[in-house]
Structure 1
């Protein structure tokens, strides 16, 4: 494959313009065609037959010993015969880069029969007997194939193929091929291509790629498979090619690098008749073959995540110029060459290193996730042409930035939410982009799913594709997944205590998704609109506690006030009382968390208020009862300690004002909403304490 520099040198603007489509990319097929065209130009060059060759199929044989076996045939006499010169009838040599187009190999799946070309690829470490059989089959099997014979009948030089078939009927010649080959290999096994050279004058022996008749037969044989897949007899007809727009013969059952539009994939085309597939999805023969050549690049631009194969295919926005084609080839070549990085990470690495070849606005990505349920049966989910590098990159940066803001930063009073360097969503991470693009970002916060049984309705896949493409995620879906995971963690006997790090991770994720530049959250429920807004947390260094409270006030109160004011979902609002309701659930959780923490650590209780009122028990009808119980506990502990100020007063007073106006029975927030912010409050309350020996309240 040409390097990007060699590609630039090899093809002028005029040469590339002649190969490129005239219209902008508008479909997956357009991208595949573009990739296939670039791949063909970089490997086998231009020309009528170049797209039909498969140079990568035997790429690992290049420059290896005994990797090319050549049966040499002399057609200069009245009857075809094996070569009788110094080189002999069978020549074993090395397959080299210079011979790729001359040997003209076109691979066909081994389980299905012989290769399309007269050149055939043997299995690894085939013994001499097997290699001899393959060598003889160039004459006895390929040359007499029905499609090859039809092609020969229509070609001026078809007699050459007929002569090979005639020679294949001569047992003496076949025995000689086997003997000569075995001797040439000294009885050793080899991994090789097997082909023929033909001379018309007894002097010059030409390769298959140098004789049009061999290339024409190869082409017809490959094309014949484009109309017979899935038991079709002839799925072809005259129509407009969906790629080039030309009126031509189109085929309906061509292979596809991403398994789209196959005959069995009837959900794409309900009522599909495989014989008439060309009507539903008309693609010309040459376009279909070019699309099939996109495989190397589409595979390089894919990665496995959440049990699905995710494709993230870059393409230039707008009409593609020769310079766009060169830059795209460079990006694809480098992605193919990158080891261990998925395409998003590879593109970001180049951008960060100043090596990006496109401006962000010039580059788009096709995004989809493909679920393989069984052989030849796939589901395609989350498909979009509007992906951009900006979204996953910015989300990773936004999340790391959130982890450094006040809610996750300690000073003399703990941060509102706990941090843990072993939890990447709380500590920030250089691997955050990998986490986002592989779906691990959502696996850490969503309800647990079985990756071995990938499902098209997996919400993690929906969220992943949304982030890659810049489409929004429903707040309702997030809260549902978050609360399911919190409940599952709390009920898990193998986990100790309330899942504070899980809840804090979920909240950090929610804040990052609400980033104004990303705008990745949406809702159809007006009561949840405040959740979609970006919080206004500051990044330390910030004012010290002493500066904020020069008269020795309660730093916990200041922290709580600041957190509420800077969190739109729970901040007071003159025109939206649902934030008051959500704040009530949060404050109730904060009090339960604070009291429960006190019971567990200070009083040594094995069962605390947190255990008594788990997240799954919280409903609108229970809010008032739980509030009364929690406040009652603070009154009891205040009296027991002979305190002059109510214990956890900075939470209690706000809770009294919020929960009782209006009555919780009249609240409109749904259960997931209440439970998540209650859980957030519990997490806050459990973390609400001084980090020094100073007391948090007056006594």
Structure 2
């Protein structure tokens, strides 16, 4: 395959534009056709038969020993015979310069022969089998029904007829077998088998690719398969080609790089009559072949995740100018050569390294879920994917955990940020791999409920979220909360695998939620007015949290109080500024968060000061929090807080106020006075923000706390 520089040199603007479709990309078929056209130009060049060749099929054989076996036939006399002036059977190396000359066209059926007279043997075939394949160039291919019909209609059809005639001579066949067996010396080989023919006494032996009759017979064999797939008799007819817009003989059961539009692919062909498929999806013979050639580029731009196959195919928006297509070819070439990155990352690298404007770059996106052989579900399909969404989501996420007050603080800060970060957690660190995580789905794998990929289905929320982000479609808030809570509950339940409260997981989920809510991206969709605030971008300060001395503390209070006030006010899902009605879901959500903050705070006190192995955090796991229980949990937690307050007063004599009073006072107004059983908040909403509160409370302490100064810290707190 030509490198991007070689492609640009061989196909300058004036040459390439003559090869390109006249209309912009408007469908998947248009895109596949363009890919197939570029692949053909880059591998077999232009020309009538170039799209029918399959140079990749035998690419592994290039420059390997005994990779090409050639039977030479002399047809220059009255009777065909094996070459007498040269070696009648040549065993040599298959090389790049022979790709077009051997004219190989692969047929994937296990028991079939290739469309071309050139045939590819299986891996490490023994000499006897290779000899049989060589003889079948004369005894099987040359007498194939489609090949003989093509020969009848061609002026040079006599060449194929003489090839078949030679195949009736047992002496000739024995000579071929004996020669191949002797030359290979009993060793197995992986080879292409073909013929060379001499048609004039003073001429040279010609390869199949040099003779039009061989090319036409190959073409007709391949076309014949386009109308008989899925047991159709002849799914063809005259119609307007959906790719070129021109009248043509169209076919209905052609192969497809993505297995779309096949007899068992019901999403694309509901109620299919296989014989009439050409009416539902008319594509001309030559266009169908070109589409089939898109396979190499299509496969290079796909990856598997969550049990599905995700297609992320780049193309250029608008008119197909040579400059745009040259750049597109570069992306496709690098996708073929590099298995480690996705097309998203490749496009971003080009944009970054070459200062390329990606406004004209679009992506076709879909996910395919296989159920059984030849049966698939296609979902999330769009032609409007853009680099902007995954790229900006990755950058927004990194900015959040690196430089906003909810997740970070100055190095000299004496008090922790509201939520923890951890360099070993991908979503709690600023990682260069974040774009890779977003584009492959790992971004959601880290936060969503875990599933067995072998049992995944088209309703998998992880796939829905991935496709939504790639295409810029908002994700439903309730789906996110359900997945988050299920993952939290699973981790708290599985004691053997996970230890302690999953605070890093919850902080990761919240960072993801905030990134998706970014005002520019708007990748969150509220499913009802009550969770609309969750879809709003937080207003955390875009600077690192100040040190303890810089925090304004009113009335000689403690820094924990203004820190809590600031976090709640800057989080739209919790903020009274968004909705201060005590009966609103926002107020209820705030109450759940505050309860969690108190449970986390007192639970940490129990662990560090009381040396208790089981704390309130363990006593009230996330799955135990419901509307009917939350008031009781609050009462018990406040009672435990007052007990520790009395202990502190006995020990110190002048302990001021109530322990964690900045939380307790708020709880009295949000949970203890109202009746939570009449709340309207959904359970997942309630539990997630309770879990977020626990994470906040466990992380709410002076920076660099250690066992030696626990008592002193707790006295202050």
The TM-score range, normalised by the shorter chain, is: over 0.9
CA contact (8 A) 2:447 2:508 kept: yes
Question: What is the CA–CA distance in structure 2 between the aligned matches of 1:485 and 1:320, rounded to whole Å?
Answer: 46
Residue of structure 2 in register with 1:54 after alignment: 54
Q: How many residues of Structure 1 are paired with residues of Structure 2 in the alignment?
A: 696
Deviation at 1:428, TM superposition (A): 2.6
Residue of structure 2 in register with 1:67 after alignment: 67
Residue of structure 2 in register with 1:375 after alignment: 373
Deviation at 1:208, TM superposition (A): 0.9
Residue of structure 1 in register with 2:453 after alignment: 451
1:576-624 Cα distance to aligned partner (Å, 9 max, x none): 6332221111111111221222223322334332233222222223332
Does 2:519 match 1:507? no
1:317-374 Cα distance to aligned partner (Å, 9 max, x none): 1121122221111111122122412222222223232364xx2211000111122222
Out of 626, 636, 641, which is 2:633 matched to?
Answer: 626
- The correspondence of residues 106-255 of structure 1 with structure 2, limited to 5 A, is 106-109=105-108, 111-204=110-203, 205-255=205-255
CA contact (8 A) 1:208 1:214 kept: yes
Does 2:687 match 1:680? no
Question: What is the CA–CA distance in structure 2 between the aligned matches of 1:355 and 1:310, rounded to whole Å?
Answer: 28
Deviation at 1:77, TM superposition (A): 1.7
Tell me the secondary structure at the aligned position of residue 620 of structure 1. coil
CA contact (8 A) 1:4 1:329 kept: yes
1:207-261 Cα distance to aligned partner (Å, 9 max, x none): 1111111100000100111111111111111222111111111111111111111
Out of 395, 419, 434, which is 2:436 matched to?
Answer: 434
CA contact (8 A) 2:477 2:526 kept: yes
Question: What is the CA–CA distance in structure 1 between the aligned matches of 2:95 and 2:614, rounded to whole Å?
Answer: 75
Does 2:566 match 1:567? no
Does 2:555 match 1:548? no
Tell me the secondary structure at the aligned position of residue 500 of structure 2. coil
CA contact (8 A) 2:417 2:545 kept: no
Tell me the secondary structure at the aligned position of residue 569 of structure 1. coil
Question: What is the CA–CA distance in structure 1 between the aligned matches of 2:464 and 2:146, rounded to whole Å?
Answer: 46
Deviation at 1:88, TM superposition (A): 2.8
Tell me the secondary structure at the aligned position of residue 502 of structure 1. helix
Tell me the secondary structure at the aligned position of residue 572 of structure 1. coil
Question: What is the CA–CA distance in structure 2 between the aligned matches of 1:474 and 1:200, rounded to whole Å?
Answer: 70
CA contact (8 A) 2:415 2:547 kept: no
Question: Judging changes above 3 Å, is the alpha-carbon distance between structure 1 residues 663 and 53 closer, same or farther for their aligned structure 2 residues?
Answer: same
Residue of structure 2 in register with 1:361 after alignment: 359
CA contact (8 A) 2:365 2:470 kept: yes
Structure 2 unaligned residues grouped into runs of 5+: 650-654
Deviation at 1:450, TM superposition (A): 0.6
Residue of structure 2 in register with 1:105 after alignment: 104
Question: What is the CA–CA distance in structure 1 between the aligned matches of 2:689 and 2:475, rounded to whole Å?
Answer: 19
Question: Bigger shift: 184-193 or 254-263?
Answer: 184-193
Does 2:622 match 1:596? no
Question: Judging changes above 3 Å, is the alpha-carbon distance between structure 1 residues 27 and 112 closer, same or farther for their aligned structure 2 residues?
Answer: farther
CA contact (8 A) 2:592 2:690 kept: yes
Tell me the secondary structure at the aligned position of residue 378 of structure 2. strand
Deviation at 1:556, TM superposition (A): 0.8
Normalised to the residue count of structure 1, the TM-score between the two structures is: 0.96
Question: What is the CA–CA distance in structure 1 between the aligned matches of 2:185 and 2:642, rounded to whole Å?
Answer: 96
Residue of structure 2 in register with 1:528 after alignment: 531
Question: Judging changes above 3 Å, is the alpha-carbon distance between structure 1 residues 637 and 45 closer, same or farther for their aligned structure 2 residues?
Answer: same
Residue of structure 2 in register with 1:8 after alignment: 8
Out of 583, 587, 596, which is 1:580 matched to?
Answer: 587
CA contact (8 A) 2:102 2:118 kept: yes
Question: What is the CA–CA distance in structure 2 between the aligned matches of 1:103 and 1:17, rounded to whole Å?
Answer: 29
Does 2:472 match 1:465? no
Question: What is the CA–CA distance in structure 1 between the aligned matches of 2:79 and 2:391, rounded to whole Å?
Answer: 69
- The correspondence of residues 310-389 of structure 1 with structure 2, limited to 5 A, is 310-354=310-354, 356=356, 359-389=357-387
CA contact (8 A) 2:536 2:572 kept: yes
Q: Name segments (4+ residues, structure 1) moved above 6 Å.
A: none
Question: Bigger shift: 225-234 or 344-353?
Answer: 344-353
CA contact (8 A) 1:73 1:80 kept: yes
Tell me the secondary structure at the aligned position of residue 406 of structure 1. coil
Question: What is the CA–CA distance in structure 2 between the aligned matches of 1:76 and 1:355, rounded to whole Å?
Answer: 61
Tell me the secondary structure at the aligned position of residue 56 of structure 1. coil
Out of 522, 530, 549, which is 1:519 matched to?
Answer: 522
CA contact (8 A) 1:421 1:427 kept: yes
Question: Bigger shift: 339-348 or 207-216?
Answer: 339-348
Question: Bigger shift: 557-566 or 543-552?
Answer: 543-552
Question: What is the CA–CA distance in structure 1 between the aligned matches of 2:129 and 2:674, rounded to whole Å?
Answer: 86
Question: What is the CA–CA distance in structure 2 between the aligned matches of 1:522 and 1:267, rounded to whole Å?
Answer: 27
Normalised to the residue count of structure 2, the TM-score between the two structures is: 0.94
Question: Bigger shift: 557-566 or 125-134?
Answer: 125-134
Residue of structure 1 in register with 2:275 after alignment: 275
Question: Judging changes above 3 Å, is the alpha-carbon distance between structure 1 residues 543 and 658 closer, same or farther for their aligned structure 2 residues?
Answer: same
CA contact (8 A) 1:635 1:647 kept: yes
Out of 479, 483, 486, which is 2:485 matched to?
Answer: 483
Deviation at 1:471, TM superposition (A): 0.9
Does 2:651 match 1:655? no
Question: What is the CA–CA distance in structure 2 between the aligned matches of 1:644 and 1:414, rounded to whole Å?
Answer: 23
Structure 1 unaligned residues grouped into runs of 5+: none
Question: What is the CA–CA distance in structure 2 between the aligned matches of 1:618 and 1:64, rounded to whole Å?
Answer: 67
Question: What is the CA–CA distance in structure 2 between the aligned matches of 1:240 and 1:171, rounded to whole Å?
Answer: 49
Tell me the secondary structure at the aligned position of residue 354 of structure 2. coil
Tell me the secondary structure at the aligned position of residue 501 of structure 1. helix
CA contact (8 A) 1:644 1:698 kept: no
Residue of structure 2 in register with 1:390 after alignment: 388
Tell me the secondary structure at the aligned position of residue 73 of structure 1. strand
Residue of structure 1 in register with 2:622 after alignment: 615
CA contact (8 A) 1:573 1:579 kept: no
Out of 554, 557, 561, which is 1:557 matched to?
Answer: 561
Question: What is the CA–CA distance in structure 2 between the aligned matches of 1:574 and 1:400, rounded to whole Å?
Answer: 26
1:149-189 Cα distance to aligned partner (Å, 9 max, x none): 11111111111111111110011111122223334434433
Question: Judging changes above 3 Å, is the alpha-carbon distance between structure 1 residues 407 and 696 closer, same or farther for their aligned structure 2 residues?
Answer: farther
Deviation at 1:129, TM superposition (A): 1.8
1:59-115 Cα distance to aligned partner (Å, 9 max, x none): 122222322221111212222112211x13222222222211111000111503110
Question: What is the CA–CA distance in structure 1 between the aligned matches of 2:616 and 2:363, rounded to whole Å?
Answer: 50
